[in-house]
A and B are shown apart, each in its own frame.
Chain A
């Protein structure tokens, strides 16, 4: 249980990091918190010849609010979502989700962007990114680009990030005014990988329509999936059974894998339950407070 030998460099600027990536990209692995990468190294499931540690790059540990939303640097720890009240207020969905991510001792090292880059299909932060419509800023010597969450998460443990690219930050839209958010999941033990996790937003337009309300589910396949209420029931306003019907629809649409922890049928049942419950909770948190 020891990592195979590798060379290590800790660049002091984004430029230095991009230099290293362009030189060693194919053989290198970036490390931020290392809470997913270190087990892979110790189990020797990953054997990169170079580790590029971004923990000494100034600036990447900051977050800020701009007109477009919240920008979170690649080094911002998951613990910030628990301890930084200002950050929690900007992303209430992720503030609620963070309690389900691992444990205090992993959250104090693990980063928000790093978890998203690892792209575990059961990861809470991927669900948040997909639900909120996050975007990622990627840097490399070949050019910078911004990639939407839908294009970023390709498959289990696979993202659109190129071998010479650094994910500098994730951008999240500001909370929708008047909307309610919720996050919940079921796992075998607190902090374990979710069998199913669900993020919800309930929001109404000026006419009271719920079209832009949506849910995203994790743990149900190779990546998180988003379902918009308006695609299922366009123009719906307040129908007593709407959330239950939508939850059933979502559960029937997904095709979750079966594994040691949960069968396909059980995951569908969890999805139906969590979606309905999550929407009810989110609705109770909207400005009007009612479904």
Chain B
């Protein structure tokens, strides 16, 4: 029987980088672990009790609220945060679309919207507007409004489909 402990070691991968034997308090949320222990402050904390969606990250490709997950529960997983969406100085198609469509003003909620949107498009490359709205219903924005965000996600979906079509030689 494993004895309950207040601190333990975790090993996990974040944005392709492996972290080994990082000691954390059992009560540490994944969000606080990312921000405070790994200095990955792109993941934002709004409400800290699962209402706002700002802290959404991808654990093994599934979108989760990092404030509702303990760091110790992420042991052995592969995590992607907003910092890991782009590659080599190039923004992810979803990030570019947010910029082009003015899908952010203050930007506080944006990391959560970006990670949630990436998860949606990885699962469903051709979402309808209703599907985008339903998927993002768990993320709250208090200044931009949602119309431009929905526009951006639909534009990114089209862009990614076009890229994939061009890559395989099949029509987009």
Residues in A lying within 8 Å of B, measured CB to CB: 1-12, 16, 19-20, 23-24, 34-35, 38-39, 41-43, 50-53, 55, 79, 99, 102-106, 108-109, 189-191
Contact = CB atoms under 8 A, between A and B. Distances in A.
Interface of B: 1-6, 8, 25-27, 29, 32, 47-50, 53, 56, 62-65, 67-70, 72-73, 116, 119-120, 134-135, 137-139
B contacts with A: majority SS: mixed
Given A38-B29, A105-B64, 20 more contacts: A1-B48, A5-B27, A8-B5, A8-B27, A9-B5, A20-B2, A20-B4, A34-B68, A38-B49, A38-B68, A39-B49, A39-B68, A41-B27, A42-B29, A103-B135, A104-B135, A105-B138, A108-B64, A109-B68, A191-B137
A38 B64 contact: no
Contacts of B3: 9
Contacts of B116: 104-105
Contacts of A42: 29, 48-49, 67
Closest 9 A/B residue pairs (Cβ): A103-B138, A7-B4, A8-B26, A1-B48, A39-B49, A108-B62, A9-B4, A38-B68, A105-B63
Given A38-B50, A104-B119, A104-B138, A6 B67 contact: no
Contacts of A1: 47-49
Nearest to B68: A38
A24 to B, nearest CB: 7
B49 A24 contact: no
Contact of A105 (B1, B56, B72): B56
Nearest to A9: B4
B63 A104 contact: yes
Contact of B5 (A7, A34, A103, A189): A7
A23 B29 CA distance: 26
A168 B3 CA distance: 21
B152 to A, nearest CB: 18
A53 B4 CA distance: 10
A261 to B, nearest CB: 15
Nearest to A49: B4
A27 to B, nearest CB: 10
Contact of A106 (B6, B65, B119): B65
A20 B27 contact: no
A10 B27 contact: no
A19 B2 CA distance: 10
A147 to B, nearest CB: 26
B134 A20 contact: no
A174 to B, nearest CB: 29
Nearest to A4: B27
Contacts of B47: 1
Contacts of B2: 9-12, 16, 20
21 contacts: A5-B26, A6-B6, A7-B26, A8-B6, A8-B26, A10-B2, A10-B73, A11-B1, A19-B1, A20-B4, A35-B50, A38-B49, A38-B70, A39-B49, A39-B50, A42-B48, A42-B49, A50-B4, A53-B70, A104-B138, A109-B64
Contact of B53 (A34, A43, A105, A109): A105
A2 B32 contact: yes
A265 to B, nearest CB: 28
A69 B161 CA distance: 41
Contact of B25 (A5, A9, A50): A5
A105 B73 contact: no
B33 to A, nearest CB: 12
